[in-house]
Amino acid sequence: MHWVSYWLGGEFLTLASSLFPEGISYVRRVSILFVDKNYCSQDPWRDVLSILGSNRDSVIFMTAARSYVMRETDWGKLVVSAGIGESGEDAGCTINVGTFVHEGLNMNGLVDLVRTVTEAKSGALRDLGYELTGTVSDAVAVGSKVGETSFAGPGTDLGRRVARDVRLVLREMLGES
């Protein structure tokens, strides 16, 4: 196992379905833990924590995919790891998306951003001809500074920009696989 980490430039209130941390937390970085395609553990949380040590201020995505992007955008930071196996739904490859926005969102805004990211991921898969919305091991993490903005859906300026970038990056990454 090896990993890469991306500093977010400050603390973000985060809502995540990632392996670590679970649910709602504050983080300062995003990490991707790369495992072998045959990785199988009864306790992946232990595996993650053994690598993290005392650096527990990170969203951790785990994947057997080797392709990833960590990018600064006009709206914030985007982290994606992506791969799809031959069946499309193969758990050995995963689509992980992390978006961390400059705009201050409240909890409803974060939930709306999860929807936006998930719809963009599904749209990219459809664009590429897949008849699925993701793989069985996908994860999403969204974060922001604490704020009052309640909406970050695709009908908002922020949501449109996030959705566009997530969709474009995934089409680029998966279109080459």
Stretches where the chain sits below pLDDT 50 are 91-92, 177
How large is the C-alpha radius of gyration of the chain?
15
CA 4 distance to own-chain centroid:
14
pLDDT for residue 176: 56
Residues 6+ apart with CB under 8 A from 136: 89, 91
Taken in order 4, 94, 155, 161, the sign of the CA dihedral is positive
CB 13 within 8 A of CB 143: yes
pLDDT for residue 22: 87
The Cα–Cα gap between 6 and 8 comes to 6
CB 29 within 8 A of CB 5: yes
State pLDDT tens for residues 22-67: 899 999 999 999 888 888 888 888 888 887 776 779 999 988 888 9
